[in-house]
Amino acid sequence: MDAIEQQKYRVRDLPTRSITLFPTRAQVIRDIKDVNLKPGITQISILGFTPTVDPQSIKVEGTGSAVISDIAVELQENQDIFLEIYPASDDETSESADDEDNSPPGDSDDENPSRAKQDLQEVRKEIQALDDEIKRAAEMVSSAESRLKMLDGFGNKVEPKSGSDMSDVVQAYQDQRNKTFEDHMEGTLRQRELKNQVRSLKRTEGKLVTQVDKENKTALRAYSKANRARLKKRDLKDRRKAKKHAEKERIQQERCKFWARSCFVVRITLDATQYTPISRQSSISSVTDLVKPTAETQESSLADIEAAVPNCDLSITYVTSAAFWSPSYDLQLSTTSNAGTLFFDAQLTNNTSESWNDCKIILSTSQAVFSGLQDAIPTLIPWHIKLANKFSAGSDDITSSPQEAYEQRRWKVASGAASQADSGTKWIGVSTTQVSQRFMRKFMTAVPAVSKFEAPRNNQVHGASLFGGKSKDAPQPPPGFGKPGTALFGSNARDAPLPPPGHSGGGLFGTAAAASRSDQDHKPDISDSLDETATFLEPEPELSFQESAVEETGFTTIYELPGTKSLIPSSTASKQRVAQIAFTNVVFSHTIVAKYRPGAFLKAKLRNASKISLLKGPVGLTLDGTFMGRSTLPRCSSGDDFTMSLGIDPTIRVIYPKPDVKRSTSGVFTKESSTAYTRSITVVNTRGPSSAGGKAARLRVLDQVPVSEDDKLRVEIVHPRGLVEGGPGVSAGAQDGTVKDGKDWGKAVATLRKGGEVKWDVELNAGKSVKLGLEYDVSLPAGDHAVQG
């Protein structure tokens, strides 16, 4: 038997052709180019597939003169070493000490003395020279005095023999004394002159010393300032280094989190021996052709075979459940122009151990904290009452329905919880504990023992019993993943799709721009105060995003992101812009159920006029430049309408006082008790008529009357007069007397619907108010009383 040629490839070294992301999985296609083949059997081993791969989904195709005779998939321990793939950064260059002389300024080592210091040195040299001269003059005076004493002593000892000798002696004494006196006077005068010069130089020296001291103090202050700046710079450098180390540690920890301790190995056996159509007919059904050769005879020489099969290209396709995409939206609405813009983004998640670089990414659809934003608009529940005799234990208080009391309690609890919600300010700020300690020393030494694949807790990956699950739990690729496979790729696996995590992304695009527009709306118009000749700068164009190509195939929509992108393993999802959709003729309306909650719920109705079907996903809502919070966008196909609840509109004030109750008794032979209940709903549109949004508000106001379950218990609506269940609407409403200039408030039409529900369709002008009255009588035999049904 001929030896089998072995070739090994690693997944991380193979280029990625494309990734198709689904809501719960991803399909990856990698290429192996120019595989060198030799006559005979060649086995290609591809190592390092993420353990989240569904082994039943692996499919191999290619081109070349060979036959795929076998494909084997095996789960093995990862042969790579973490430190070899991601070495620790030990190349940190030690910071050398500053070459600058940081010693304080001094006189002895000052290489560049100032002018004052130079003058002081010269003056001190002159003083020193004068001191020497003074000593010399003093010596001259002392010498003269000594000679004078010597002359006096000599004169006392001389005894002249004659008169002539005496005169000679006296003359000689006189000459010597005069000469000595001249020397003494010269020395004395010289001393006086030199001392005067010294005193003058001493004064100069004093001035220069003062000036030098002042310069030294100035230099010392400059040195202290420079030293503080140098220490601050060194501290900033240390902080920057600590942050750099912390970032490297975070990256290493992120890599460790997605490091695979076990991975799949795919072995592909290629048969490049000579074969004929007869041999092809004898091949089993699981054998896959790459390209049929054009062999003319079965007796081709070995050289001909080598020339016929030099190499081949392979592509391997597989599905993983740890990568997916989810939609994220940002909806900006304007009540002044009745328009809106929807930014459709895709959050791409890769929780596998593989990195997909410079590849085509395709998305496939196969398969808020504002006041009241998360609350659904209440729906009135029928209010039933019935007759009860006087011995019944039930309460005869039918002023309000049980559901009304329950909803009001819920409203109070929700309002109190909202007011006590944590603002999150305690989490603002950076503490010193965030400065990293030693960089990955102890951690990295333990990596070979613990650096195996760690799946995120919220994403339990099912794959090839790696994490305890059986192969039947592995997710099945959705339809359209490839051609129908043979027995080699057959699968009895059942779908166990992995739900994507609930990322709260979105709202990243457009919010800042909306905020800036809101700020501009509140700025006063100063154009009148500017000179007409002033030059105005044109606004800079906004950054735009390249939208994706959209294609719909049956029930599936495919979005092809522009260009090539990279998707690396990460705990956070990356965001890519898919499309931007403009909405016109947005209908804003209010719904008021004052019995349950005294507020006007604002909602917007939009029509999806684009060709893109919108998936259900989180959405950030911005209304008139103000970010309101996050909600959920419902699924909406092209051409359909959808409604977004925008919470409670604070500009619409609702007043719902307690009802007035009047009881009476009538009848002569058959006594009958009657109770009249009067309720009212006052709605005030606080928008100013001259404001930008000062237009009529469309309101739907709901209330109810009880529904009798007994023939003897009658409920009749007195006002609005003429209300009949299922009948036409009647005009209702009156201006509120508490509001000045309440005329021309608008109009209201009341209708009675099934279950005792009363609805008013109101158009309320800006700055106006309306009072909607509801009066009904409850009649029953005397002695009986009505109780809750």
CATH of the domain at 200: 1.10.287
Same domain, 271 and 253: no
Please report whether residue 608 resides in a domain. Answer: no
Domain-embedded: residue 737: yes
Report the alpha-carbon distance of residue 758 to residue 722 in Å, rounded. Answer: 12
Amino acid 110: pLDDT: 60
Q: Are residues 724 and 751 in the same domain?
A: yes
**Mean pLDDT rounded to a whole number for the chain:** 75
* pLDDT attached to residue 523: 38
Domain boundary among 236, 257, 278: 257
Asked if residue 46 and residue 130 are part of one domain, the reply reads no
Least confident window among 164-173, 196-205, 215-224, 587-596: 164-173
Q: Residue 374 has what pLDDT?
A: 60
Q: List, for residues 660-716, the tens digit of each pLDDT value.
A: 999 887 765 667 888 899 999 999 988 877 665 567 888 999 999 999 888 888 899
Residue with tokens 């735009």: 544
Phi-psi region of 595 (alpha: psi -120 to 50; beta: other; left: phi over 0): alpha
- What is the structure's pLDDT at 513? 35
Residue 277 and residue 246 share a domain: no
3-state secondary structure of 681: strand
Q: What is the pLDDT of residue 545?
A: 54
CB atoms within 10 A of CB 665: 9
Percentage of the residues of the chain whose pLDDT score is greater than 70: 69
The total number of structural domains in the chain stands at: 3
User: Collapsing DSSP states into helix, strand and coil, what is residue 206?
Assistant: helix
* CA triple 202-207-213, angle to 5 deg: 120
Regarding whether 174 and 272 lie in a shared domain, the answer is: no
Mean pLDDT of 279-308: 45
Residue 266 phi, psi dihedral angles, 5° rounding:
-110, 125
Task: Supply angle C-alpha 209, 214, 220, rounded to 5.
Answer: 125
Same domain? 223 vs 152: yes
Residue 566 lies in a domain: no
415 inside domain: no
- Domain end call among 295, 321, 347: 321
Answer yes or no: do 289 and 229 share one domain: no
25 and 53 share one domain: yes
Higher pLDDT, 78 or 394: 78
Q: Using the Cα atoms of residue 467, residue 471, residue 474 and residue 477 in order, give the sign of their dihedral.
A: positive
Taking the alpha carbons of 646, 651, 652, 658 in that order, is the dihedral positive or negative?
Answer: positive
Residue-level pLDDT at 451 = 36
φ, ψ (nearest 5 deg) of residue 41: -100, 130
Alpha helices in 62-114 (DSSP H): 82-85
Residue 377 within a domain: no
The answer to whether residue 423 sits within a structural domain is no
Calculate the CA dihedral of residues 357, 359, 365, 366 and round it to 10 degrees: -100
638: pLDDT strictly greater than 50: yes
Lowest mean pLDDT among 105-114, 542-551, 690-699: 542-551
Q: Does some domain include residue 408?
A: no
Residue 302 sits in which domain range? 5-78+259-321
Residue type, position 167, single letter: S
Residue 242 has pLDDT above 90, yes or no: yes
Same domain, 54 and 149: no
Indicate if 253 and 263 belong to the same structural domain: no
Tokens of 50: 């993420």
Residues 60 and 143 in one domain: no
Examine the domain organization and report whether 301 and 179 are in the same domain: no
d(CA 411, CA 403): 12
How far, in Å, CA of 304 to CA of 316, rounded? 29
Q: 552 pairs with which residues across the strands?
A: 557
pTM of the model: 0.60
**Domain C-terminal end among 281, 304, 321:** 321
Q: Is residue 52 part of a domain?
A: yes
**Alpha-carbon span 260 to 257, nearest angstrom:** 9
As a whole number of angstroms, the distance between CA 507 and CA 571 comes to 19
